[in-house]
Amino acid sequence: MVRGIRSTLTLVFLVALLVGAVIWGWGAATKPLPQTQDEPLCEEVAVEAGQRVYPDQVAVSIFNASSRAGLAGRTTELFLDSGFGEGDSGNAPTGTEVAYAQIWASDPKSPAVRLVKSYLGPRATITEGDQLGVGVVVVVGEEFEELVKGKKSVKAAADGFVCSPPGTTD
């Protein structure tokens, strides 16, 4: 008789445990998923005249205007290896013709633009173009191969703004 009571109590305990697990599992399965906050690729940071701007304070977006697959990604890696922040990358709009490299900027005298140009060398040009991505927009063409040894920093000639990767302004 004791054996029957022990078996019944064990069975009741296991059923209660199973019911508790089902209730907990149902609650966990129906809970809304946590929302992820996309961190911006860069933040506009004020730069005063005379202040130095360094590569880690500048986000660079690279776009491929050549027929070479992966050129934007490879060029992005070159800029990251040189200390710049990562912006957007991809293909340039259809019909974009760039032989070597162009910087598309609304303010060619920006310290960020001047710093990026120093890494592209004298063949790179600065032109007014669409803002395809964040930060300094570089469009590379068929003849682009490597970055050159650029400046370690550039002094801002006037007050302005630089698109800096998050966390570099602390």
Structural domain includes residue 68: yes
Is the full-model pTM beyond 0.85? no
Per-residue confidence (pLDDT) for residue 170, from 0 to 100: 47
Per-residue confidence (pLDDT) for residue 108, from 0 to 100: 87
Structural domain includes residue 169: no
Q: Are residues 102 and 55 in the same domain?
A: yes
Per-residue confidence (pLDDT) for residue 79, from 0 to 100: 95
Per-residue confidence (pLDDT) for residue 81, from 0 to 100: 95
Longest dimension (CA), the chain: 97
Residue 16 sits in which domain range? 1-35
Distance CA(106)–CA(136), nearest Å, equals 10
C-alpha distances in Å from residue 163, one per residue of 1, 61, 103, 112, 116: 80, 11, 15, 8, 12
Per-residue confidence (pLDDT) for residue 132, from 0 to 100: 86
Per-residue confidence (pLDDT) for residue 43, from 0 to 100: 85
Q: Are residues 152 and 106 in the same domain?
A: yes
How many angstroms separate the first and last alpha carbons of the chain? 74
- 24: three-class secondary structure by DSSP: helix
Measured in residues, the chain has a length of 170
Structural domain includes residue 136: yes
SS3 helix, strand, coil % of the chain, rounded to 5? Answer: 30, 25, 45
Is residue 87 within 8 Å of 116, Cβ to Cβ? no
Q: Are residues 154 and 106 in the same domain?
A: yes
Per-residue confidence (pLDDT) for residue 92, from 0 to 100: 92
Q: Are residues 64 and 27 in the same domain?
A: no
Q: Are residues 10 and 68 in the same domain?
A: no
Give me the residues of the chain with pLDDT under 70, please: 1, 36-37, 167-170
Pair of tokens at residue 36: 């992820």
Q: Are residues 159 and 107 in the same domain?
A: yes
DSSP 39-77: PPS-EEEEE-TT-EE-GGG-EEEEEE-SSSTTHHHHHHH
